[in-house]
Amino acid sequence: MVKTPSLKPCPFCGGKDIRFSMKIDGKHYHVIRYRVAMYCNKCHTYGPITFTEEVLRTNYAGREAIKKDDAVKVQAENLWNGRATNETPHINEH
Ligand SMILES: [Zn+2]
């Protein structure tokens, strides 16, 4: 199990309603990756953005696996909390 870090309040408005955002970041026609970040639901400020591994657009199983990978969310949460390290976690290592 991946431990979820507790999120710091928004540095801009102090809001505590911090949410996870994952959107398709179209790169090439046949390959996509997801753009992930935490954001404040009060002032809509986004934390540092990170990207998942690339996956074939038609690989629905692979896309679902990425969406369900807790490591992706934990990485975004760590970035939000400003605890990013030089170490890049392997987010698609199955
Ligand atoms: Zn805010």
Q: Distance from the CA of 10 to the center of ligand 1, in angstroms?
A: 5
**Residue 87 is assigned to a structural domain of this protein:** no
Give me the mean pLDDT over the 37-63 stretch: 95
Domain count along the chain? 1
Give me the mean pLDDT over the 48-72 stretch: 94
**Residue 2 is assigned to a structural domain of this protein:** no
Q: Distance from the CA of 57 to the center of ligand 1, in angstroms?
A: 33
Residues 7-24 have pLDDT tens digits of 999 999 999 999 999 999
Q: Distance from the CA of 28 to the center of ligand 1, in angstroms?
A: 33
**Residue 43 is assigned to a structural domain of this protein:** yes
Q: Distance from the CA of 55 to the center of ligand 1, in angstroms?
A: 32
CA angle 37, 38, 43 (to 5 degrees): 120
Cα separation, 39 vs 16, whole angstroms: 10
User: If you write DSSP's letter for every residue of 21-79 in order, what string do you get?
Assistant: EEEEEE-SSSEEEEEEEEEETTT--B---EE---EETT-HHHHHHHHH-HHHHHHHHHH
Domain limits for position 29: 18-81
- pLDDT of 30 reads 93
